[in-house]
């Protein structure tokens, strides 16, 4: 049976995230619905809680690119902060992150084990960030995952398939688990969707808090 992944909560007290800075300054009000960490650019999906016609133009002036998706829903691209750069190039999945004004940002990371988690913290510290490990626990993937979905997901994390850029190809991943590329892709997509749903159901009750923004 494969080893159990590790759930690591990391607090970055001096985040240099441009989007978090917009929340801190009161330039925008809303909640983060999704975050994709990139090596150079990161994408944030934000549901505005207070809509203003000037929101899009105001964001453009603050050095980020804003795209209005629908009523109150914005896709914001900004230069990657230190945390996003490190996470995007590490074998890990950012499950959630909670931005707390005047405190910092807490990342809930899923990693293959303590060695990877320790490396992420070391890289952030080396980059000059004030980092604190809040908690490390063995992460039991939701029971809704099938055995194959579990195996494919854990293998993808360990091999760096989910990193940006990817460290292995889909062909290499499929060879490692002994399944076809289409089957691996199907199981991986299903597993990630179930993880996202589990995270949403777990953290949805706090969505109404005005001063805490959740990144799913």
Tell me, what's the pLDDT at 59?
66
Position 92 in a domain = yes
Other CB atoms within 10 Å distance of the CB of residue 52: 11
Tell me, what's the pLDDT at 87?
92
| Structural domain span for residue 18 | 6-140+199-215
Other CB atoms within 10 Å distance of the CB of residue 80: 22
Q: What is the DSSP string of 40-53?
A: SEEEEEEEESS--T
Q: Residue 52 pLDDT more than 80?
A: no
**Of 18-22, 86-90, 94-98, 186-190, minimum mean pLDDT range:** 94-98
Position 133 in a domain = yes
> What is the overall mean pLDDT for the chain?
80
Tell me, what's the pLDDT at 119?
93
Position 61 in a domain = yes
Position 110 in a domain = yes
C-alpha distances out from residue 34 to 44, 47, 169, Å: 6, 10, 25
Q: What is the mean pLDDT of residues 179-198?
A: 85
Position 41 in a domain = yes
Name which of 155, 149, 167, 38 is nearest 94 in CA terms.
Answer: 38
Position 150 in a domain = no
Tally the domains of the chain.
1
Q: Residue 214 pLDDT more than 90?
A: no
Tell me, what's the pLDDT at 40?
92
For the chain, the 3-state helix, strand and coil shares in percent, each to the nearest 5, are: 40, 30, 35
Chain centroid offset of residue 133 CA: 17
For residues 104 and 14, the answer to whether their CB atoms sit within 8 Å is yes
Tell me, what's the pLDDT at 126?
94
Query: Which has the higher per-residue pLDDT, 39 or 213?
Result: 39
Position 121 in a domain = yes
Position 174 in a domain = no
């Amino acid at each position: 049976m494969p080893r159990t992944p590790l759930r690591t909560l990391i607090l970055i007290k001096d985040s240099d995230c441009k989007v978090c800075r917009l929340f801190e300054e009161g330039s925008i009000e809303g909640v983060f619905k999704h975050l994709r960490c990139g090596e150079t650019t990161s994408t944030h999906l934000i549901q505005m809680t207070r809509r203003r016609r000037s929101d899009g133009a105001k964001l453009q002036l603050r050095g980020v690119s804003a795209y209005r998706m629908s009523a109150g829903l914005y896709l914001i691209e900004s230069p990657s902060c230190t945390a996003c750069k490190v996470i995007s190039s590490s074998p890990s999945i950012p499950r959630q992150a909670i931005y707390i004004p005047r405190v910092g940002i807490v990342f809930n990371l899923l990693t293959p084990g303590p060695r990877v988690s320790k490396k992420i913290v070391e890289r952030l510290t080396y980059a000059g960030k004030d980092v604190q490990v809040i908690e490390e626990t063995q992460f039991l993937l939701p029971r809704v995952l099938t055995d194959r979905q579990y195996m494919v997901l854990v293998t993808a994390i360990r091999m760096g398939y989910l990193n940006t850029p990817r460290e292995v190809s889909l062909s290499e991943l499929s060879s490692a688990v002994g399944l076809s590329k289409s089957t691996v892709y199907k199981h991986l997509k299903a597993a990630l969707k179930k993880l996202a749903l589990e995270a949403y159901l777990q953290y949805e009750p706090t969505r109404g808090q005005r001063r805490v923004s959740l990144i799913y």
